[in-house]
Amino acid sequence: MYGACVYATNGTDPIQTLTMGSGVNFADLDTTDPAPKGNILGVIRDFLFAGDLNPASTSPVPYGVQWSAVANPASWPTPDTQAAYASQAGQQYLYPEYGPVMAISDNESFGLLFQRSGIQRCEYVGGNQVFQFYTYEKKRGALGQNAVARVGNKYYFASP
């Protein structure tokens, strides 16, 4: 959930959105630039993240994440372009040896990206870099997409 909207994905079709209380069904996210297709969505600070990416132009990148423009989950400029730098949109490929992205935390100050056998922490730094990524855990990750729960400021997860 981002603001009053719920976002959903199945990894194949465009990201879907629904405004809470609107009485309408889910619909494709209306974007100027195509939003990524990924199997996981999450919110970190003022950004909507997609993970376990399925780009149309290349092979799947299960260890990749891409994030929207700041404070605009409907804006997904192509990463590494002037439009992306201006809006702080971007992408990052995590360590492939930790497997696919299984969950993205919904924390306001930093993010945790759970892969199958590792956890990455990302911190907002601004500028063209936008986020700094650190390896947080090298031996444990999330067993599946619904294997992570946040309770207060603690995370509980089932690990393989």
Where along the chain do its domains lie? 5-157
pLDDT of residue 32: 74
DSSP classification of residue 94: -
pLDDT 10s digits, 116-160: 999 999 999 999 899 999 999 999 999 999 899 999 888 999 998
110: tokens are 């930093």
Distance of CA 66 to the CA centre of its chain: 6
What H or E segment, with its residue span, contains residue 18?
strand 16-19
State how far the Cα of 121 lies from the Cα of 134, in Å rounded to an integer.
5
Spans in the chain with pLDDT lower than 50: none
Spatial CB neighbours of 11, under 8 Å, sequence gap ≥ 6:
37, 38, 39, 52, 54
pLDDT of residue 135: 97
pLDDT of residue 108: 67
6: tokens are 């719920």
pLDDT of residue 27: 86
pLDDT of residue 41: 96
pLDDT of residue 140: 96
State how far the Cα of 67 lies from the Cα of 51, in Å rounded to an integer.
9
Are the beta carbons of 7 and 29 closer than 8 angstroms? Answer: yes
Are the beta carbons of 15 and 51 closer than 8 angstroms? Answer: no
State how far the Cα of 127 lies from the Cα of 57, in Å rounded to an integer.
27
159: tokens are 């690990």
pTM over 0.95? The answer is: no
